[in-house]
């Protein structure tokens, strides 16, 4: 039936607090879960490694940033710094013979410790002042990575990642790398979906809206800010470690520069603050669309016989890509997640909404 809410009744709080209140949402999630599991069998290896794998890892990272920015309302411009901490910590732990399962946890915990430093700044300042504080921490981390050979190998050096091994099995195939990224993204998504239903999620939203009002209601804003930064940093650390272990295969300071922090923040903003599905859309737009636009421009110029020099060809996709972001935010300032929500709400009552006209 088109009227997807027909026959859906919530007679108790347990039913009303389900992860998927509408059966169609659950069916859609199961469908995409099946597509994700079957992706290595239906998608060529080149596209699986070049598009799907980084999309999943960056989505998990964007969900972590959305936790502290979208849910807790704390502007974070140093997210790549905590990703770097997790990546380098996990690599060094693996080089010392620590199993990768524990190395990833070590990377996440190390990132949580560093991320908590941002939280202590959030206890004193907010808004743009907090953004500048986190940006300063990003620059500090950039300096440490480029001037500490014991950590990163030096300014223009890279740190080779050991072969990823989970549950005693070396992972060297493209499908194996993909399933690791897919499993981590699913875990983070399930965590975020459940966070919305818990007291922790409601407390973070209260802190975001007005921390003084939340304090009057008995919500300890200091505690929840620290918890949000620590949890978000743990997700960032593990995501950074998996990004190096499954995609880059080596860690370099340039991979976690301030530009990366701004890029991840753009993923969250374009997707929609506090939106889980929006994080998927935002990462796809920021990460995948430039390459697709570049291919379309090159193919279109060849089809019409137009000769475009290399420099112009390199700038046209960026211009189109930037204009696309502006148009999307003009149409819906709340991001792609809100656009999806508008379509979903319309389909819930279609075609019965025509009866009111």
DSSP notation for 261-318: HHHHHHHHHHH-TT-HHHHHHHHIIIIIHHHHHHHHHHHHHHHTT----HHHHHHHHH
Coil, strand or helix: which one is 251? strand
**More confident position, 199 or 309:** 199
Whole-angstrom distance, CA of residue 273 vs CA of residue 155 = 35
pTM: 0.89
CA atoms within 13 A on the CB side of 147: 6
99 burial class (0-12, 13-18, 19+ CB within 10 angstroms)? middle
Closest CA to 107 of 121, 118, 96, 122: 96
Angle between helices 174-195 and 23-42 (to 10 degrees): 170
- Mean pLDDT for all residues in the chain: 85
Residue 89 banded pLDDT, cuts 50, 70, 90: very high
Helix, strand, coil % over all residues of the chain, rounded to 5: 75, 0, 20
pLDDT at position 353 over 60: no
Would you say 283 and 60 are in contact if contact means Cβ atoms under 8 Å apart? no
3-state secondary structure of 110: helix
Q: What is the mean pLDDT of residues 14-40?
A: 82
pLDDT score, position 3: 47
CB burial of residue 51 (10 Å; 0-12, 13-18, 19+): middle
| pLDDT, position 307 | 72
Which tens digits make up the pLDDT trace of 239-251?
999 999 999 988 8
Long-range Cβ pairs for the range 94-97 (8 Å, 24+):
94/161, 94/162, 95/162
Give the C-alpha separation, 174 to 56, whole Å: 14
In the structure, what pLDDT confidence band is assigned to residue 112 with cuts at 50, 70 and 90? very high
Question: What pLDDT, in 10s, does the model give residues 166-190?
Answer: 888 888 888 999 999 999 999 999 9
CA 280, distance to chain mean position in Å, is: 7
CA neighbor of 326 nearest in space, from 314, 316, 318: 318
Q: Where are the domains of the chain?
A: 21-257
DSSP letter for each residue of 151-212: HHSSTT--EEPPPPEETTEE--SHHHHHHHHHHHHHHHHHHHHHHTTSHHHHHHHHHHH-HH
- Whose CA is closest to 336, among 261, 290, 260, 268? 268
Decide: 69 and 204 in contact? Cβ < 8 Å: no
């Amino acid at each position: 039936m088109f009227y997807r809410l027909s026959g859906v009744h919530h007679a108790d709080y347990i039913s009303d607090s389900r992860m998927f209140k509408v059966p169609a949402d659950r069916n859609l999630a199961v469908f995409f879960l099946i597509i994700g599991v079957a992706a290595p069998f239906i998608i060529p290896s080149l596209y699986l490694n070049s598009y799907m794998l980084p999309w999943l890892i960056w989505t998990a990272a964007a969900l972590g940033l959305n936790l502290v920015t979208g849910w807790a309302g704390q502007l974070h411009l140093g997210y790549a710094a905590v990703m770097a901490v997790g990546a380098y910590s996990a690599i060094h732990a693996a080089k010392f013979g620590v199993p990768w399962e524990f190395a990833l946890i070590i990377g996440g915990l190390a990132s949580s410790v560093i991320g908590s430093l941002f939280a202590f700044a959030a206890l004193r300042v907010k808004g743009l002042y907090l953004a500048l504080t986190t940006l300063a921490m990003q620059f500090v981390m950039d300096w440490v990575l480029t001037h500490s050979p014991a950590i990163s190998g030096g300014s223009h050096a890279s740190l080779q990642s050991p072969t990823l091994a989970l549950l005693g099995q070396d992972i060297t195939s493209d499908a194996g790398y993909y399933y690791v990224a897919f499993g981590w993204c699913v875990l983070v998504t399930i965590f975020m979906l459940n966070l919305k239903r818990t007291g922790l999620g409601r407390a973070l939203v209260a802190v975001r809206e007005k921390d003084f009002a939340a304090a009057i209601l008995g919500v300890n804003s200091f505690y929840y800010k620290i918890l949000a930064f620590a949890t978000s940093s743990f997700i960032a650390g593990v995501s950074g470690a998996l990004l190096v272990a499954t995609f880059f295969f080596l860690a370099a300071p340039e991979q976690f520069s301030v530009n990366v922090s701004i890029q991840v923040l753009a993923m969250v903003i374009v997707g929609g603050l506090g939106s889980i599905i929006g994080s998927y859309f935002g990462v796809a737009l920021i990460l995948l669309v430039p390459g697709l636009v570049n291919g379309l421009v090159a193919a279109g110029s060849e089809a019409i016989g137009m000769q475009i020099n290399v420099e112009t060809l390199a700038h046209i996709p960026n211009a189109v890509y930037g204009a696309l972001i502006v148009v999307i935010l003009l149409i819906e300032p709340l991001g792609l997640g809100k656009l999806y929500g508008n379509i979903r709400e319309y389909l819930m009552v279609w075609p019965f909404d025509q009866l009111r006209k």
